[in-house]
Amino acid sequence: MSRLDKTRHVYELLLEFYSRNFLYAGVNEELAYNLINLVWEHTFEADSVQTIKKIFKEAKKQCKNKVVEEDFLNAFHQNFLKVERFLDVGANRLDLLKTLGENYENIENLYAIDTKEKSEITLPNNKSFYFKVDNYSQNLPEELSNIDFINIQFVLHHFPDDSSIIRLLNWCYRILEKDGIVVLWEESFEKKWNKNLNFPVKVFTDENLTEKFYRLNTSEKFAFIQINDWLINFSNSHLQWTSNYKMWYDWVKIFASVGFQLEDYWNLGLRVNGKLKQGVHIIGMFKKK
Ligand SMILES: C[S@@+](CC[C@H](N)C(=O)[O-])C[C@H]1O[C@@H](n2cnc3c(N)ncnc32)[C@H](O)[C@@H]1O
């Protein structure tokens, strides 16, 4: 893992990001201070996990559940209505497969791949298939074909190297229908923040916080993203922390190298929406060239 550029600017922005969201959710701001101070001193240290869990537990207790954003999946509702075969890459606890299986009768088959053992969650019978794969994308299920929609949500930055990402994307290209789509969700940023956000569901992007984030230098931005992503995911103990985070332009370049073209993308920036945990998200929709 590269050395984190832990500057005062990164610390202050993390503090502001968490305290604004905690306050919005009705949670005592002091908990945000305790959380960021702890994580600042002990990022990635397993010993701090129990204390972090305790802080989040207390925050959840105080939380007035004032989350204001609609479910982001609604942004793809029209696409889901046309899907017959869906694949979730890095499906983790299979939450997405379950939701889609329950809400979209038109989806005939739901496929999931992940490096972890299959979750115990009950999936719609006879139409869901789980494949445990290795970290390097060397045993991907070659029998899949004619997929209409591939979702890759907060997964690729956990891959060990770019060759494994490219192997996965080449496979996605082979199994995707001619006019199918791939949706990539990443913790990422652009050179400049493009404020024109036309995401189909309303997003509570905070201009002031996002501008402060964009004033950080590149290595500070990566430090902010790494510390924040660890705070979001520290309880997923199976995750490997390879820190393969990239600028958005580099993701688009990797996708283009295997034949995918960016159709549309949305840079959500830093949001104040009352969620106790959230990332710095860019979502992109790709099609075959
Ligand atoms: C941060 S979680 C995101 C889970 C889910 N997509 C979501 O958005 O809630 C990342 C998931 O990617 C999986 N993963 C990591 N490396 C992978 C790889 N090389 N191939 C497939 N899945 C991988 C992890 O096991 C984990 O379940």
SS3 23: helix
Rounded CA-CA distance 166/259 in Å is 11
Judge if the beta carbon of residue 183 lies within 6 A of ligand 1.
Answer: no
DSSP 167-206: HHHHHHHHHEEEEEEEEEEEE---SS-------SS---B-
* Dist. CA 114 → ligand 1 center (Å): 6
Q: What is the pLDDT of residue 238?
A: 84
The pair of three-digit structure tokens given for residue 169, joined into one six-digit string: 């994307």
pLDDT digits (tens, 9 = 90+) for 85-126: 999 999 999 999 999 999 999 999 999 999 999 888 777 777
Give burial (CB, 10 Å; 0-12/13-18/19+) of 124.
Answer: middle
CB atoms closer than 10 angstroms to residue 207: 11
Count of beta carbons in the 10 Å neighbourhood of residue 262: 15
Looking only at the bridges linking them, the beta strands covering 176-187 and 147-153 are: parallel
Q: How far is CA 266 from CA 43, 70, 184, 187, 206, in A?
A: 29, 16, 11, 12, 15
Which pair of structure tokens corresponds to residue 37?
Answer: 């101070």
What 3-state class would DSSP assign to 278?
A: coil
Interval between CA 269 and ligand 1 midpoint (Å): 22
Q: What is the mean pLDDT of residues 255-275?
A: 96
Does the beta carbon of 154 lie inside 6 Å of ligand 1? yes
Going from the Cα of 115 to the center of ligand 1, the distance in angstroms, rounded, reads 7
Asked whether residue 196 carries a pLDDT value surpassing 80, the answer given is no
Task: Give the mean pLDDT of 247-265.
Answer: 98
Q: What is the mean pLDDT of residues 273-289?
A: 96
- Pick from 86, 100, 110, 114 the residue to mutate for probing ligand 1's pocket: most ligand atoms within 8 Å of its CB: 114
Q: Confidence class of residue 34 from pLDDT cuts 50, 70 and 90?
A: very high
The answer to whether the CB of 151 is under 6 A from ligand 1 is no
Alpha-carbon gap, residue 118 to 231, rounded angstroms: 24
**262: helix, coil or strand?**
strand
**Topology of the domain comprising 72-189+246-288:** Rossmann fold (3.40.50)
Would you state the structure tokens that stand for residue 31, as one six-digit string? 């908990």
Across residues 224-243, what is the average pLDDT?
92
SS3 of 267, please? strand
pLDDT the model gives residue 45 = 87
pLDDT confidence band for 228 (50 / 70 / 90): very high
Residue found by looking up tokens 């832990």 in the block? 6
Question: Among the atoms of ligand 1, which is closest to the Cα of residue 229?
Answer: 1
Query: How far is the centre of ligand 1, averaged over its atoms, from the C-alpha of 28 (Å)?
Result: 32
Rg (CA), the chain: 19
Region of poorest pLDDT, from 28-32, 124-128, 136-140 = 124-128
Mean local confidence (pLDDT), 241-261: 97
DSSP reduced 3-state for 103: helix
Per-residue confidence (pLDDT) for residue 246, from 0 to 100: 98
pLDDT at residue 1 in the model: 52
Q: What share of the chain is helix, strand, coil (3-state, %, to 5)?
A: 40, 20, 40
For 142-175, what is each residue's pLDDT tens digit? 999 999 999 999 999 999 999 999 999 999 999 9
Q: Where are the domains of the chain?
A: 8-68+205-233, 72-189+246-288
pTM score, two decimals?
Answer: 0.96
Angle between helices 49-62 and 29-41 (to 10 degrees): 170
The separation between the first and the last C-alpha atoms of the chain, rounded to the nearest angstrom, is: 34
Ligand 1 contact via 153 beta carbon (within 6 Å): yes
